[in-house]
Amino acid sequence: MGVAHFDGALAVVTGAGSGFGRATALALAGRGASVIAADIDLPSAERTLALAKKAGATGAAYRVDVADGAAMEEFAGWVREEHRTPDIVVNNAGIAVAGPFLATGTADWERIIGVNLWGVIHGSRLFGRQMAERVAALPAKPDKPNFGGHIVNVASAAAFAPQRSLPAYSTTKAAVLMLSQCLRAELAGSRIGVTAVCPGFAKTGLARSSIHVGVSAEAQESLRRRYDKAFQWRGYPPEKVAERIVDAIVKNRAVVPVNFEGHLLHALSRVSPASLRLIARIPSPQR
């Protein structure tokens, strides 16, 4: 893939301080885009921006909690005022909550819904509106319709399959998948693409910061180490997910499963959902 696909584009990436977010920000920067690296951890976002600048990109780092609607309103306004309406938005920020549904309390649900779902809603609504308004303000070009922009929402392979050990996480990611498809239909007339990217296990820090409900603090730390070790052993780098995100933007893909388990669960959800329901009953051997 050539390096100049996004020359002159402005890309906003949330959760850009690490994992898929950092890899995606750098992939877009390496292809000519200016990058706004947003994260709740500002120093991490600044490190991502520094790496992007080494690749010759411009941009800025910004601290924002995607679950905070007012903060996201302020962030979106800042992007438009200080830069302009973005051409690409990657709603990537996410957290993991694991454990039985009956042990998952209200605060745990509010936390994961706030980041994984409301974060995507805020980013899609605020920046999607900016994109649509920009398209409406431009003169019509019947021979070459204006490109309105592209929104990427990072879901998960968990969106395709029920899991008894991940009810909260799977629910939020399934909601992101459906939201993305609804939004894609709504914004198509404005030439704004929307993609749901659904990776399987990858070598990120998600497991290290995961919340495990219904267990002691000591057991939670043990589970974090076990899951992180499994993710690291899986060895699928976030850079490969970033490449799929770039490809999805270029080709305007609707739903993009990533890696073996992503494709497998996507296929089974279409041809044999009953098999997934049976698999979901198997207890996690690590709990």
The catalytic site residues sit at: 169
CA 19 to chain centre: 10
Task: For residue 50, give every residue at least 6 positions away whose Cβ sits within 8 Å of its Cβ, in sequence order, or none.
Answer: none
Checking 142-149 for CB contacts under 8 A at 24+ apart, the result is: 145/191, 146/191, 147/87, 147/191, 148/187, 148/190, 148/191, 148/192, 148/193, 149/85, 149/86, 149/87, 149/88, 149/89, 149/192, 149/193
Helical residues (DSSP H) of 99-191, grouped into ranges? 106-112, 119-137, 167-187
Q: Percentages helix, strand, coil for the chain, rounded to the nearest 5?
A: 55, 15, 30
Q: Which of 20, 55, 46, 65 is CA-nearest to residue 259?
A: 20
Going 24 to 30 to 35 to 39, the CA torsion angle's sign is positive
How far apart, in whole angstroms, are the C-alpha atoms of residue 67 and residue 110? 10
- Whether residue 39 contacts residue 22, with contact meaning beta carbons closer than 8 Å, is answered with no
